[in-house]
Amino acid sequence: MAKPLSLTIVIPVFNEEENLPELIDRLEKLVPQMGRPCNVLFIEDGSQDGTYALLAKARERLPWIGILKFARNFGQQIGLGAGFRHANGEIVAMIDADLQLDPEDIPVMADKLDEGYDAAVGFRRNRPENVFLRQIPSRLANWSLSKLGGVKFDDLGCGLQVFRRSLFQDLDPSRTVFTHSDVFAVWRGGNVAQVPVNFHPRKHGESKYSTIDLGYLLLDLLITFSNSPALLFVSFAIGMAALGLAGLGLAGSLMAWTFGGEFPLALAMFSCFLGLSGLFAVAVGFINERIARMSRVLDGAPRYIIDRLDEPAVFAGAVSHE
């Protein structure tokens, strides 16, 4: 058999003091059983609790743990971009630190890349979450992405994903594609496998993502990967305007027929004007966001600042070469 590819596990953390002890214990058992050279890189995203102290203590006895500490909180997605940049494995695995996903699922996903896939993304078989606040918005996002972007995932946004590092090798880590690494892998022509993974309720703390945040991520995805976001929203605006006019015309006709009064043309026209103005404002907002992102890239302003970087050693003590 070919030599297995080396692996770096990237874990962004923000105020996860309560979850870290169990996570580190599980990683300590997992890494020696990985069957490939492996290390772990924590992205400490400006936590305000004892997260960094716990990581530093763990690194003293586990040299294959590395810590990239941000100067302040820059956000999970920017942290993932920094993780890809500083990972030294041929494979990069991403997993959240909240213990809702099992790190023990990583070896199965990494084996998919040994088989020739470019990426493996998880889909959660069981989701003990609020149906209205989590499950329905997630299904809506999956459906929207499938229809608008032509990318079909059973579980868009699962926090457990594994990639060939070469997929992102030539990218600036501040690029927004790291917000949607799984979609980018498909967009770039990668061969992506979906792997069922376990999912658990959160034991400690609260989710860092609200339903509004999830909606923002979907809109961010459309802006990032659409070649013509203006056309997308102009089409949406025209469609909604047509529906609005038809509805007003029908309602006015029914009112005139029912009550024998005259159709309030001025009110209807004013309502249409307000509706079209609102849709136009939405379209302009998205176009402005796209231009603002281009401006940030041209300005060369850093998206994050590193306070300290302790690079991980590579654990290779139990690597099989059969």
Distance CA 49, CA 46 (A): 9
* Digit-coded pLDDT (tens) for 105-118: 999 999 999 888 99
> In this model, does residue 119 exceed pLDDT 60?
yes
Residue located via tokens 């990683």? 27
Q: What kind and span of H or E run contains 319?
A: none
Question: For residue 36, how many C-alpha atoms fall within 13 Å in the half-sphere facing its CB?
Answer: 23
Q: Helix %, strand %, coil % for the chain, to 5? A: 50, 15, 35
- Average the pLDDT over 130-153 and give the result: 58
- Name the fold adopted by 7-206+302-310: Spore Coat Polysaccharide Biosynthesis Protein SpsA; Chain A (3.90.550)
Question: How distant is the alpha carbon of residue 54 from its chain centre?
Answer: 26
CA distance 299 to 60: 39
Sheet holding 306-310, edge to edge: 192-197, 119-124, 161-164, 91-94, 7-13, 38-44, 65-70, 306-310
Closest CA to 163 of 196, 139, 186: 186
What's the mean pLDDT when you consider all of the chain?
76
Lowest mean pLDDT among 181-185, 235-239, 256-260: 235-239
- CB of 79 closer than 8 Å to CB of 47: no
In this predicted structure, what is the pLDDT of residue 42? 97
Percent of the chain at pLDDT above 70?
A: 52
Tokens of 20: 């870290």
How far apart, in whole angstroms, are the C-alpha atoms of residue 317 and residue 320? 9
From the number of C-beta atoms within 10 Å of its C-beta (0-12, 13-18, 19+), residue 138 rates as buried
pLDDT higher than threshold 50 for residue 102: yes
Stronger pLDDT, 5 or 125, i.e. the higher one? 5
More confident residue, 203 or 58: 58
| Phi and psi, residue 185, nearest 5° | -60, -40
Task: Say if CB 75 and CB 305 are below 8 A apart.
Answer: no
Between β-strands 65-70 and 119-124, what pairing exists: parallel, antiparallel or unpaired? unpaired
* pLDDT for res 72: 93
Q: What would the pLDDT profile of 32-43 be if each residue is shown by its tens digit?
A: 999 899 999 999
pLDDT tens-digit series, residues 201-227:
877 766 655 555 555 555 665 555 555
Helix or strand (DSSP H, E) at 214:
helix 211-225
The residue with tokens 């989590």 is: 134
pLDDT of residue 283 exceeding 80: no
Predicted local confidence at residue 320, as pLDDT:
47
Tell me, what's the pLDDT at 165?
86
**Contact status, residue 105 vs residue 195, Cβ threshold 8 Å:** yes
| Contact residues for 191 (Cβ-Cβ < 8 A; gap 6+) | 116, 117, 118, 119
